[in-house]
Structure 1
Amino acid sequence: MEMINGHDPKPHAILFPYPLQGHVIPAVHLAVKLASRGFTITFVNTLSVHHQIVKSSQPGTTADNDDIFAGARKSGLDIRYKTISDGFPLGFDRSLNHDQFWEGVRYVFSAHVDELVGNMVGSEPPVTCLIADTFFVWTSMIASKYNLVNISFWTEPALVLSLYYHLDLLIKNGHFAKSHDNRKDTIKYIPGVEAIEPEDLMSYLQSTDTSTTVHRIIYQAFSDVKKADFILCNTVQELESDTISALQQKQPIYPIGPIFPSGFAKSSVATSLWSESNCTNWLDSKPTGSVLYVSFGSYAHASKRDIEEIAYGLLLSQVNFVWVLRPDIVSSDETDILPVGYEDQIKGRGLIVTWCCQIEVISHPAIGGFMTHCGWNSVLESVWCGVPLLAHPLLTDQFTNRKLVVDDWRIGLNLVDDHHKGKTITRDEAAEKISRLMGGKGGDDHELRKNIQEAKKILENALTKIGSSEKNLTQFIKDVTLKMIQKKYNYNKNIKH
Structure 2
Amino acid sequence: MDSGDGERTTGCHVVAMPYPGRGHVNPMMNLCKLLTSRQDDILITFVLTEEWLDLISSEDKPANVRFATIPNVIPSERVRAADFPGFIEDVSTKMEAPFEQLLDRLESPVTAIIADTHVMCAFVVGNRRNIPAASFWSMSATMFSVFHHFDLLIQNQHYPVNLSERGEERVGYIPGISSTRISDLPTVFSGDGQRVLNRVLEMCSWAPKAQYLLFTSVYELEQEALDALKRKFSFPVYTLGPTIPYFNLGDEPTVATTHSDLNYMKWLDSQPKASVLYISLGSFLSVSSAQMDEIAAGLRSSGVRFLWVGRDKASQLQEGCGDGGLVVPWCDQLKVLSHSSVGGFWSHCGWNSILEAVFAGVPMLTFPIFWDQVPNSKKIVEDWKIGWRVKREVGWQNLVTREEISGLVKRFMDLESNEVKEMRNRGKDLEKVCRGAIAKGGSTDTNLDAFLSHISQSRRR
Q: TM-score, normalised by structure 1?
A: 0.82
**Partner of residue 62 from structure 2, selected from 40, 54, 72:** 72
In the alignment, what sits opposite 2:202? 220
State the Cα deviation string for residues 163-220 of structure 1 (Å, max 9, x = none).
Answer: 111122222222224998996532122111232221111122x3366542x2342132
SS at structure 2 position matched to 1:249: helix
In the alignment, what sits opposite 1:325? 310
User: How far did 1:286 drift?
Assistant: 1.8
Aligned residues: 446
1:186 equivalent in alignment to 2:170: yes
User: How far did 1:275 drift?
Assistant: 11
Distance of aligned partners of 1:337 and 1:170 in 2 relative to their CA distance in 1, 3 Å threshold: farther
In the alignment, what sits opposite 1:309? 294
In the alignment, what sits opposite 1:42? 45
Q: Is the 8 A contact 1:24 1:271 kept in 2?
A: no
In the alignment, what sits opposite 2:115? 132
1:375 equivalent in alignment to 2:360: no
Q: Partner amino acid for 2:306?
A: F
Q: Is the 8 A contact 1:264 1:359 kept in 2?
A: no
- Give the percent of matched residue pairs that are identical in Structure 1 and Structure 2: 34
Q: Is the 8 A contact 2:177 2:225 kept in 1?
A: yes
Distance of aligned partners of 1:480 and 1:268 in 2 relative to their CA distance in 1, 3 Å threshold: farther
Pairing 1:472-491 to 2, within 5 Å after superposition: 472-486=447-461
Distance 2:254 2:157 in 1: 44
In the alignment, what sits opposite 1:260? 244
User: How far did 1:119 drift?
Assistant: 2.2
Q: Is the 8 A contact 1:325 1:354 kept in 2?
A: yes
1:200 equivalent in alignment to 2:184: yes
Q: Partner amino acid for 2:137?
A: W
In the alignment, what sits opposite 2:150? 167
User: How far did 1:439 drift?
Assistant: 1.4
Distance of aligned partners of 1:272 and 1:155 in 2 relative to their CA distance in 1, 3 Å threshold: farther
Root mean square deviation, CA, Å: 3.0
1:356 equivalent in alignment to 2:340: no
Pairing 1:403-482 to 2, within 5 Å after superposition: 403-417=378-392, 424-439=399-414, 443-482=418-457
Distance of aligned partners of 1:100 and 1:209 in 2 relative to their CA distance in 1, 3 Å threshold: closer
In the alignment, what sits opposite 1:5? none
Distance of aligned partners of 1:289 and 1:180 in 2 relative to their CA distance in 1, 3 Å threshold: closer
State the Cα deviation string for residues 264-288 of structure 1 (Å, max 9, x = none).
Answer: 5177996899999231122222222
In the alignment, what sits opposite 1:59? none
User: How far did 1:453 drift?
Assistant: 0.7
Distance of aligned partners of 1:462 and 1:271 in 2 relative to their CA distance in 1, 3 Å threshold: farther
**Partner of residue 300 from structure 1, selected from 285, 298, 302:** 285
Q: Partner amino acid for 2:97?
A: A
1:141 equivalent in alignment to 2:124: yes
1:33 equivalent in alignment to 2:66: no
Q: Is the 8 A contact 2:92 2:118 kept in 1?
A: no
Q: Is the 8 A contact 1:52 1:274 kept in 2?
A: no
Distance 1:371 1:277 in 2: 19
Distance 1:485 1:269 in 2: 40
Q: Is the 8 A contact 2:50 2:70 kept in 1?
A: yes
Q: Is the 8 A contact 1:52 1:273 kept in 2?
A: no
Distance of aligned partners of 1:461 and 1:211 in 2 relative to their CA distance in 1, 3 Å threshold: closer
1:106 equivalent in alignment to 2:92: yes
Gaps of 5+ in 2: 1-9
Distance 2:14 2:118 in 1: 18
Q: Is the 8 A contact 2:111 2:458 kept in 1?
A: no
User: How far did 1:382 drift?
Assistant: 1.0
Q: Is the 8 A contact 1:72 1:269 kept in 2?
A: no
Q: Partner amino acid for 2:129?
A: Y
In the alignment, what sits opposite 2:227? 245
1:285 equivalent in alignment to 2:270: yes
1:153 equivalent in alignment to 2:173: no
User: How far did 1:48 drift?
Assistant: 0.9
Distance 1:480 1:364 in 2: 37
Q: Partner amino acid for 1:16?
A: M
Considering fraction of residues, name the structure with more helix.
Answer: 2
1:346 equivalent in alignment to 2:322: yes
Q: Is the 8 A contact 2:244 2:352 kept in 1?
A: no
Q: Is the 8 A contact 2:307 2:327 kept in 1?
A: yes
Q: Partner amino acid for 1:353?
A: V
Q: TM-score, normalised by structure 2?
A: 0.88
Distance 1:366 1:434 in 2: 16
User: How far did 1:149 drift?
Assistant: 0.6
**Partner of residue 94 from structure 1, selected from 70, 80, 90:** 80
Distance 1:417 1:137 in 2: 35
User: How far did 1:318 drift?
Assistant: 0.4
Distance of aligned partners of 1:417 and 1:455 in 2 relative to their CA distance in 1, 3 Å threshold: same
Distance 2:453 2:174 in 1: 30
SS at structure 2 position matched to 1:139: helix
SS at structure 1 position matched to 2:306: strand
When structure 1 is superposed on structure 2, of 245-254 and 263-272 the one drifting more is 263-272
Q: Partner amino acid for 2:371?
A: T
